[in-house]
């Protein structure tokens, strides 16, 4: 068991910042010490195996991305990142734990879906990982199987109000699943868009000849997101169960969540980097020599990008400041343009939905600190502390404290990061963030006491990451 001392840095947690040294013993944090602490009258730096100088930099808990889709089958293809490539890219970006989604569809067994995702991930991950469970076929067998999820360390499940014929659950199915959640302590996660309405609008657009990627966002109108969000909140209210709404992009949906929280209901919301920075106008304007107006396909995701002129992006930042939204995950679901996104040439409905961002979340949120959108402490809260609390990992993850896993990131506020396809580590042939500049840089990443990224060098390996069973949520109104 080796020892490491991270010295000279500014330790940042959600509650504040201080100059402190971090002593790591094996895979855990052993102590938080005043700078220059001594052991038996001797400088502590002389009694450890490794000293990392963090002078002038922030020392923060490793990032937790609570919404990823590695190897997800979707739209006739699979997400281009495997658990090996995706977790390696996450590590480069300062994320030391992901929570991915095991999948069950109509006619399949929940247990088989979970087992399949364990098989995909085991021995391949560079960082630690956990699972949510997608329940895409809510029937008596699935409801029964859900009762065993907590024992497997899977304490949340996801339902879809979108994608009829693929994952869609109707109101009766949602009600029954939420009732099981109330009995077991499972947290209900919801993709809140009115899928049947969206399908009608999409068909009408295609029939009118409006087939380019831009019209994906037009069909998925904000009204469809607000209505579904309200409906999910009402069903959660009826069943007395907490609700977590994923990838919120419309300011009207945020208003529904805020009103419910103001009324004392345990409802929570997550947004994603794309809804903070990207817009429908930019998607409309995007063209390239290779792809023409199909260039906008790189930003096709669901929920969709929203119009900047309507103020959705500013509303997301405000909601993060006021805690009407509690988290920023990526919904990382990458597809290449070649042979994947291009399946939807001539019909936006066939474009695989997803953006790759697992490598960039920590940096993109830090840019919000630079521009004054959020505080340094709120940055740490959003990228690490709240995901750990929300999804039953806190104490082991999401905090730098004695006894916690030694997941530590050293972040240089004087560094600089340029994002683009030529430099990212995700298995994608393009970047949704091409040319973005960030006034900060991930310097060193430590996962359970092992340095896996250091000064521009990757030192990790497939199989270092372990499955982390989760407890019940520790985050309530």
pLDDT tens for 152-206 read 999 999 999 999 999 999 999 999 999 999 999 999 999 999 999 999 999 999 9
Measured distance CA(466)–CA(81) in Å, rounded: 18
How far is 60 from 382, CA to CA, in rounded Å? Answer: 12
pLDDT digits (tens, 9 = 90+) for 283-340: 999 999 999 999 999 999 999 999 999 999 999 999 999 999 999 999 999 999 999 9
Q: Answer yes or no: is pLDDT of 67 > 90.
A: yes
pLDDT single digits (tens) 106-156: 999 999 999 999 999 999 999 999 999 999 999 999 999 999 999 999 999
**Omega into 338 within 30° of 0, i.e. cis?**
no
Cα separation, 359 vs 362, in Å, equals 8
Residues sharing a CB contact under 8 Å with residue 89, sequence separation 6 or more, in sequence order: 81, 358, 359, 424, 425, 426, 427
- Mean pLDDT, the chain, rounded, equals 96
Give the DSSP letter of residue 385: I
Q: Which structure tokens are listed for 255? A: 């208003």
Say how many Å lie between the first and final Cα of the chain, rounded: 40
Distances (CA, A) of 163 to 71, 151, 200, 256, 259: 19, 29, 12, 22, 27
3-state secondary structure of 437: strand
In the predicted structure, residue 40 carries a pLDDT above the cut 50:
no
Q: CA triplet 277, 411, 298: central angle to 5 degrees?
A: 30
Q: Which pLDDT band, with edges at 50, 70 and 90, does 376 fall under?
A: very high
CA proximity to 241, closest of 193, 174, 195, 191: 174
Q: What is the DSSP letter of 151?
A: G
Q: Write down the domain spans for the chain.
A: 62-390
Q: What is the pLDDT of residue 42?
A: 56
Among 140, 203, 132, 193, which Cα is nearest to 168's? 193
Longest dimension (CA), the chain: 80
Q: Residue 20's closest CA among 56, 68, 59, 67?
A: 59
Query: Under CATH, which number does the domain 62-390 receive?
Result: 3.20.20.140
**How would residue 210 be classed by pLDDT, with cut points 50, 70 and 90?**
very high
The DSSP element (H or E) to which 157 belongs, if any, is strand 156-160
pLDDT in tens, 212-261: 999 999 999 999 999 999 999 999 999 999 999 999 999 999 999 999 99
CA distance 448 to 182: 34
Encode 192-213: b = buried (16+ Cβ within 10 Å), e = exposed: bbbbebbbebbeebbeeeebbb
Please tell me the distance from the alpha carbon of residue 211 to that of residue 28, in angstroms, as a whole number. Answer: 53
Query: Rounded to whole angstroms, how far apart are CA atoms 230 and 318?
Result: 20
What is the distance between the alpha carbons of residues 414 and 441, in angstroms, rounded to a whole number? 8
Q: Tokens for 106, please give them.
A: 């109509």
């Amino acid at each position: 068991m080796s020892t490491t001392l991270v010295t000279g840095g500014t330790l940042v947690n959600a509650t504040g910042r201080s100059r402190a040294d971090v002593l790591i013993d094996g895979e855990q944090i052993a102590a938080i010490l005043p700078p220059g602490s001594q052991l038996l009258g001797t400088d502590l730096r002389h009694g450890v195996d490794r000293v990392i100088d963090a002078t002038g930099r922030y020392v923060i808990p490793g990032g937790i991305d609570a919404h990823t889709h590695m190897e997800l089958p979707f739209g006739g293809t699979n997400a281009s990142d495997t658990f090996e490539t995706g977790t390696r890219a996450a590590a480069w970006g300062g994320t030391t734990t992901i929570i991915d989604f095991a999948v069950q569809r109509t006619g399949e067994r929940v247990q088989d879906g979970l087992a399949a995702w364990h098989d995909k991930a085991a021995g391949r991950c560079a960082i630690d990982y956990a699972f949510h469970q997608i329940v895409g076929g809510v029937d008596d067998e699935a409801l029964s199987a859900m009762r065993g999820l907590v024992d497997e360390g899977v304490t949340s499940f996801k339902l879809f109000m979108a994608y009829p014929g693929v994952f869609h659950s109707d109101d009766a199915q949602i009600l029954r699943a939420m009732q099981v959640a109330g009995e077991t302590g499972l947290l209900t996660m919801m993709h809140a868009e009115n899928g049947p309405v969206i399908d009608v609008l999409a068909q009408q657009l295609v029939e009118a000849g409006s087939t380019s990627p831009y019209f994906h966002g037009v069909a998925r109108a904000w009204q469809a997101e607000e209505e579904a969000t309200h409906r999910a909140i009402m069903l959660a209210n009826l069943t007395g169960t907490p609700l977590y709404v994923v990838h919120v992009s419309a300011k009207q949906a945020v208003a529904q969540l805020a009103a419910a929280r103001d009324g004392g209901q345990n409802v929570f919301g997550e947004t994603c980097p794309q809804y903070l920075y990207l817009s429908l106008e930019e998607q409309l304007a995007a063209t390239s020599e290779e792809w023409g107006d199909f260039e906008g396909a790189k930003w096709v995701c669901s929920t969709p990008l929203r119009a900047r002129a309507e103020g959705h992006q500013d509303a997301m930042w405000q909601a993060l400041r006021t805690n009407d939204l509690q988290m920023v995950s990526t919904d990382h679901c990458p597809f290449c343009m070649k042979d994947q996104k291009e399946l939807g040439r001539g019909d936006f409905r066939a474009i695989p939905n997803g953006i790759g961002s697992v490598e960039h979340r920590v940096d993109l949120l830090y840019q919000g600190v630079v521009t004054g959108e959020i505080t340094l402490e709120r940055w740490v809260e959003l990228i690490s502390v709240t995901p750990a609390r929300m999804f039953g990992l806190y104490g082991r993850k999401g905090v730098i404290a004695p006894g916690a896993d030694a997941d530590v990131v050293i972040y240089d506020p004087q560094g600089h990061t340029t994002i683009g396809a030529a430099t990212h580590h995700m298995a994608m042939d393009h970047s949704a963030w091409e040319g973005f500049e960030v006034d900060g840089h991930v310097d060193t990443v430590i996962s359970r006491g092992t340095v896996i990224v250091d000064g521009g060098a990757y030192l990790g390996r497939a199989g270092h990451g372990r499955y982390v069973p989760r407890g019940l949520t520790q985050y309530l109104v």
